Chains A and B, each alone.
Chain A
């Protein structure tokens, strides 16, 4: 498989959010604002990529797809969780410093990145990948797709559900764009959890349509 194949698979066939449907809890919970989606994606991307990298270092010397003894598998998972927790804690500290408001908004979902289904799925696949480069590419691809999906949902939910768009604050710009009359009386149901699941559902339907068009 060429690198572009891996990437395109990540978008259509193995799309984590829309097809594989992993890591939906944080996806639905934090995508209420665009800024939160961006920070969440950044966190997952970073933790996933770096964990994957560390795991490839550990897994060196083992043949591709070879059978592991249960002990070795347990040891491998222990290592993975320790690495991922360490990386998550680091990300949390960074977030607290850089964007305390976003840190509060992400709440419990920031520390939960350590055991996020998507992160664990990617780590699992890393141990089976044919080469470190391939594993990293897969992790990067999935992370990027996750970010894109989350961003899409975040834009939709914040625009319709709150009538605003919250981005990074810059000098002279508070970070929040208000969208005219929509911000006065938005459709709040979309910023509820149910609305989030609805958006995820449509995304999944869209992904399926794309998947079925390409044989």
Chain B
């Protein structure tokens, strides 16, 4: 077990409003009566819908076929009948087709005994095939189809394989809870990935506040014989960022492509385990429901396609009418316009805000205080960049490092004038035709 500092400079410690006992067991969310499953839940091309209204679907059945290699399969999370295929507006102006399924019929997988399949004898092609057909994508927010990440050129091998167990946002503890309940499965999945990429070094990265999980993981690693280091990293946001984690482990440059390193979130690893060992497609995930008005905030295992509205019922309802609902965490989450938005593969958490918390604070002019410079983990000068963008000098801003911005939100969080820096920087980057997940 080693201590690494993934965040030598900058970062913030937002108040942890999770209000959850992370040690509480993950509860199963109620099965939705209507599931809305979009064809685009990943980075890449949308899946092609293979069902039409009136079709009967089974639990785990393929309803969207991947469109090429840079795409992912989509499966139905509930048995039932397809009611319609409609256009759904997702976040940030993207929309895609979504299959609306009404619950009905028997469950093929849930509530039935599951058999473990041996995988050691499978070839790499077969392993990748299983992962791809299960529609596994990066569940830590990147949403990159996992079979692409694990497909290493024949003859080459990765230098570093990292299991990222650091929760990406404060007040989200889904990854922690998953690691607490399923350490063996995660380690097994890590073994599978190691077979695929053959990395010289395997690391499990945990936050320092997860130190209590280390003994269990050490036991699991000892059982499987996987050579894996455990690295603890300080609990400061955004230390879970992939680039920060890798650069602190291998001492390479901070930004830029990390050729030869593969980082997978623990939730993704669990999905890999399910895909390879259980032959189960990705139809559910663990997420955190939290927020001041939530009566009983907790970690839930939710079927994809469940409308956000239903999640609050699983948490004892809301004590006040929410003024803002955020999908994701407080630092990077996206506010949604309707409670009927469904849970997708990328939903790591849902946060409700009510009353004063939901209101946007008053914006003052920039007073040049320099706090944003202090907290930026990428050594940018956010206030200068935002002034350049407002003056239309995008090229100049790019020259001063705008491309390195990962929209972590530290600058806007710390700004005493409550300037929406992330929004402005993102607008600047977009106006040059670049996307966020660079």
**Do A and B share a direct contact in the complex (Cβ within 8 angstroms)?**
no
B interface, CB within 8 angstroms of A: none
